[in-house]
C-alpha cells in the first residue's frame, strides 16, 4: 500500500514530466564527409542542464517506490555536480532537504545552481572519498543516500519509458541511416552506457556502444582487465565522466568498445564543435566528439557509410573559467594546439593522423 505523501510525490514528478519537452537530436554537418551522418543528442537542454535530469527523475521514483524516501526524508548524494543539480531540483519539487557531497574542485557555477535549488553542498578534498562521506552524512541525518554510482544502472527503465536510448532511436526514424553504427558516450556511473547497451540488445539493433574515457580514469583498464580493484588518485579532469575507482553501475558487458581520450583532445574538441554547430558544450561532450571522430575515420578506412550518435551532456557555460579559459589551460600545463590541428585536418579531409 502506498502512503498518501508518496502518492502525491510520484504524481508531482509525473506532472513535471508531462510539462517537459524531450531534448533535440542535432545533426552535425560534416561537409567533407557526405556519406557520414553525425548527430548529437543534446541533453544540455533539460531544465536542469544535463543528461542527469533523466537519472535524477529515475532515482527519485526508484527510491519512492522502494519506500526509501518518505515525507521529510533528507536526501544525500555523492556527485561530480550534474547529478546533484538535477536531484536538488527534484528534492525542491518534493519539499525534501538535499545535501550534495562533491569534490572541492567542482565548478562554482554547479555549486551555485545546487544552492539555488535549495540544496546544501559538502565539499571534500579527495574525490575517491565522496561516496564514503555521503554514506556517513546520510547515517548522521537519518536520511537516504541516493547512491547514483550503485543504482544508476538499475533505476532507469532500460526497455523504454522514454529513456535516452528509446528517444534517440525514435528521433532517428526518418533519417537516411536510421540505425546508427555507433552510439558514443562517456561513463560517470556507467548508467547511461548500460541503458544504451541493454536497449540496443532488447530491440535487436546492430548498433554498437562506444564508451570514451578520460586519460586518468580506471574504466578503460577495467574494461580490458576486469580488475575491479583498480584505483588511481585524483579526478579525471573531465567533470562528469571517468572515475578513480570502479563503480558498481559500470557494466563492461553492456559496452562494445572503449576509447581512451587525452584530456587536451577533449578540450580541443569542444572548440571545434563550437565552430561546427555554434554552441558550447562541456568537456565530456568534447570527449565524445573526439572519440566519434576516430570511429568515423575507421568507418571511412573501411569504406563504410552510415550514422553515429554522440551525447551532448551539458553546456559549456559551466566551464567558461576552466576548459574554455586559455589561462586555466596554461596553468594546468595543457597544450591543445596539436589536437586542434588533428581535429581540423579530420574535419577538412576525413584523415585522422595519430
Name the 3-class secondary structure at 276.
helix
- Please identify, using beta-carbon distances, which residue of 241 and 246 lies nearer to ligand PLP: 241
Interaction of residue 269 with ligand PLP, rule CB under 6 A:
no
Could you tell me if 213 and 187 are in contact, meaning their C-beta atoms sit under 8 angstroms apart?
yes
Interaction of residue 315 with ligand PLP, rule CB under 6 A:
no
Residues near 40 by beta carbon (within 8 Å), at least 6 away in sequence? 25, 26, 28, 277, 281, 285, 309, 310, 311, 312
Residue number of the CB closest to ligand PLP reads: 240
Distances (CA, A) of 136 to 130, 131, 141, 262: 10, 9, 9, 34
Residues near 231 by beta carbon (within 8 Å), at least 6 away in sequence? 128, 218, 244, 245
Q: How far is the CB of 176 from ligand PLP (least distance, A)?
A: 26
Among the listed residues 119, 127, 143, 191, the single contact to ligand PLP using CB under 6 A: 191
Cα 178 from Cα 168, distance rounded (Å): 10
Q: How far is the CB of 183 from ligand PLP (least distance, A)?
A: 11
Question: Phi, psi (5° rounding) for residue 218?
Answer: -90, -10
- Please identify, using beta-carbon distances, which residue of 25 and 152 lies nearer to ligand PLP: 152
Interaction of residue 185 with ligand PLP, rule CB under 6 A:
yes
Interaction of residue 197 with ligand PLP, rule CB under 6 A:
no
Among the listed residues 130, 181, 213, 314, the single contact to ligand PLP using CB under 6 A: 314
- Please identify, using beta-carbon distances, which residue of 193 and 273 lies nearer to ligand PLP: 193
Interaction of residue 217 with ligand PLP, rule CB under 6 A:
no
Binding mask 88-127 for ligand PLP (x = CB under 6 A): ----------------------------------------
- Please identify, using beta-carbon distances, which residue of 76 and 238 lies nearer to ligand PLP: 238
**Considering only 96-104, 189-197, 224-232, 335-343, which stretch makes contact with ligand PLP by CB under 6 A?**
189-197
Residues near 83 by beta carbon (within 8 Å), at least 6 away in sequence? 52, 55, 56, 77, 148, 188
Report the DSSP pairing between strands 36-42 and 24-28.
Answer: antiparallel
Interaction of residue 82 with ligand PLP, rule CB under 6 A:
yes
Cα 240 from Cα 23, distance rounded (Å): 19
Among the listed residues 186, 242, 244, 286, the single contact to ligand PLP using CB under 6 A: 186
Q: Which chain residues interact with ligand PLP by CB under 6 A?
A: 50-52, 82, 152, 185-193, 240-241, 282, 284, 311, 313-314
Amino acid at each position: 500500500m502506498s502512503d498518501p505523501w508518496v502518492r502525491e510525490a510520484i504524481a508531482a514528478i509525473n506532472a513535471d514530466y508531462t510539462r517537459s519537452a524531450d531534448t533535440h537530436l542535432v545533426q552535425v554537418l560534416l561537409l567533407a564527409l557526405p556519406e557520414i551522418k553525425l548527430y548529437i543528442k543534446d541533453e544540455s537542454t533539460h531544465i536542469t542542464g544535463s543528461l542527469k535530469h533523466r537519472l535524477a527523475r529515475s532515482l527519485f521514483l526508484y527510491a519512492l517506490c522502494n519506500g526509501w524516501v518518505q515525507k521529510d526524508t533528507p536526501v544525500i548524494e555523492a556527485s561530480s555536480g550534474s547529478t546533484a543539480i538535477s536531484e536538488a531540483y527534484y528534492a525542491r519539487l518534493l519539499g525534501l532537504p538535499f545535501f550534495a557531497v562533491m569534490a572541492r574542485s567542482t565548478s562554482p557555477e554547479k555549486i551555485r545552481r545546487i544552492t539555488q535549488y535549495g540544496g546544501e553542498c559538502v565539499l571534500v578534498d579527495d574525490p575517491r572519498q565522496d561516496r564514503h562521506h555521503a554514506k556517513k552524512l546520510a547515517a548522521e541525518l537519518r536520511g537516504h543516500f541516493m547512491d547514483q554510482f550503485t543504482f544508476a544502472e538499475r533505476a532507469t527503465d532500460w526497455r523504454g519509458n522514454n529513456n535516452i536510448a528509446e528517444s534517440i532511436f525514435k528521433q532517428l526514424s526518418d533519417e537516411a541511416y536510421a540505425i546508427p553504427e555507433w552510439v558514443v558516450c562517456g561513463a560517470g556511473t556507467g548508467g547511461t552506457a548500460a541503458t544504451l547497451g541493454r536497449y540496443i540488445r532488447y530491440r535487436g539493433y546492430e548498433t554498437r556502444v562506444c564508451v570514451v574515457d578520460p586519460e586518468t580514469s580506471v574504466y578503460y583498464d577495467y574494461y580490458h582487465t576486469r580488475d575491479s580493484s583498480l584505483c588511481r588518485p585524483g579526478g579525471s579532469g573531465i567533470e562528469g565522466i571517468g572515475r578513480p575507482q570502479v563503480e558498481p553501475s559500470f557494466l563492461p558487458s553492456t559496452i562494445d568498445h572503449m576509447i581512451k581520450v587525452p584530456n587536451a583532445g577533449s578540450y580541443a574538441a569542444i572548440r571545434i564543435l563550437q565552430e561546427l554547430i555554434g554552441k558550447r558544450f562541456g568537456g565530456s561532450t568534447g570527449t565524445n566528439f573526439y572519440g566519434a571522430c576516430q570511429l568515423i575515420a575507421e568507418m571511412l578506412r573501411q569504406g563504410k557509410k552510415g550514422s553515429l550518435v554522440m551525447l551532448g551532456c551539458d553546456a559549456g557555460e559551466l566551464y567558461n573559467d576552466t576548459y574554455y579559459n586559455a589561462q586555466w589551460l596554461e596553468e594546468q600545463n595543457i597544450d591543445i594546439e596539436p589536437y586542434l590541428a588533428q581535429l581540423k585536418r579530420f574535419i577538412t579531409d576525413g584523415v585522422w593522423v595519430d
